[in-house]
A and B are shown apart, each in its own frame.
Chain A
Amino acid sequence: MSLWWWILGACGAAYAIKLSGFAVPAWILEHPRVARIAACMTVGLLASLVVVNTVADGQRLALDARLLALAAAVVALMLRAPFIVVVLVGAVAAAVGRLVGLA
């Protein structure tokens, strides 16, 4: 039962964070320094998400079929494939990697 409370609490916190952004007056966001920090953070967050999803296995670093997915996705992006195609290419690359014995 206590897990339920933590789940609902985490959902509430997630929503409160989202809502808090809406409470910030627009003029603050239009401040060049704030806009710059926001833009830099977006790039940093996404790069970090790529790494975590590619090599993290909990708190361990693991080199496995996901690296193949990353490489294949980058190739697809260089060929200007649309988003959905890039995602499918990533899935197929990881699945094929596992089929041939990569972890």
Chain B
Amino acid sequence: MSLLALARSSPAVRAGLSIAVATGAYGISFGALAVTAGLTVWQTCALSLLMFTGGSQFAFVGVIAAGGSPASAFGAATLLGIRNGVYGMQVSALARPRGWRRPLAALLTIDESTATMLAQHDPAERRRGFWTAGLGVYLGWNAMTAVGALAGNAFGDPKALGLDGAAVAAFVALLWPRLTGREPWAIAVVCALVTTIAVPLVPSGVPILIAAVVAGLFGLLGPAPAAGATRSVDEAAR
């Protein structure tokens, strides 16, 4: 089946493609910010090709840009990437990649591919969603990273194009479908407050992890995990 026909028949493929386009667009922003921070074009492209997790990449470059040491950049990027371990578990359980596809699926395990997969109910659609978003974002993100790194400030300040606004919108759009009840709203509001308070107090990258721990405590100490109790948050993720 051609990609066009697939896109017509599969909601997961459509979602994956639009996420790929949107996320790819702010790869330009990453590329430009990385060379502005002092990385070479090759170092910038290596981060997108091999690390391939936007939040960690921005954290790495952000620490360098702020005059931080490469070791603290490593620390911030790695801490921020821990959530991908959680995603890896979900991808392994729901998309069930086999053989040589497993190590490739691991590389493609990021916010967008996991979220697209979780939004589907049918197992085949989950797989299509994961692979379309994963491969699509990988191609778009890397191509646009190279464009941003090479063109650098030729596009002008990426902020003038509103690309930082695009990032804000993308994350709120990924969060939105999960806010389907009182509990996810409570977790989101508390974690947003905790993050705001933590930003001036700890190195960049760490506020997100503090929020993750707080959210984890909600899960650990909250209502007993009876089948019904897990539904509010869990359902929202599906």
Residues of A within 8 A of B (CB): 2-4, 6-15, 17-22, 24, 26, 28-30, 32-33, 35-56, 58-61, 65-66, 68-70, 72-74, 76-77, 82-84, 86-98
Taken together as a complex, chains A and B put the C-alpha atoms of A87 and B199 apart, in Å, by 24
Q: Which residue of B lies closest to A86 (CB)?
A: B173
Tally of B interface residues using CB under 8 Å? 102
Please give, as numbers and ranges, the residues of chain A lying within 8 Å of B123 by CB-CB distance: none
B191 touches A47 (CB 8 A): yes
- Min CB distance B184 to A, Å, is 5
Which of chain B's residues has its CB closest to A85's CB?
A: B18
Contact B165 A93 (CB under 8 A): yes
Contact B107 A15 (CB under 8 A): yes
Q: How far is the CB of A6 from chain B (nearest CB, A)?
A: 4
Q: Would A89 and B169 count as touching, CB distance under 8 A? A: yes
Task: Scan residues 65-89 of chain B and give those whose CB is less than 8 A from a CB of chain A.
Answer: 65-66, 70-71, 73-74, 77-78, 81-89
Do the beta carbons of A17 and B220 come within 8 Å of each other? no
Tell me if A47 and B207 are in contact (CB < 8 A): no
Contact A17 B81 (CB under 8 A): yes
Evaluate contact between A44 and B188: CB separation under 8 angstroms.
Answer: yes
Main secondary structure of the interface of B (DSSP, over half): helix
Picked from B46, B88, B233, the residue with its CB within 8 Å of the CB of A40 is: B233
Residues of B within 8 A of A37 (CB): 216, 219-220
Min CB gap B59→A, angstroms: 9
A/B interface sample: 14 pairs, CB < 8 A: A2-B70, A15-B106, A40-B216, A40-B219, A43-B236, A44-B191, A45-B212, A51-B195, A66-B165, A77-B172, A86-B172, A90-B167, A91-B162, A91-B163
Residues of A near B64 (CB, < 8 A) are 3
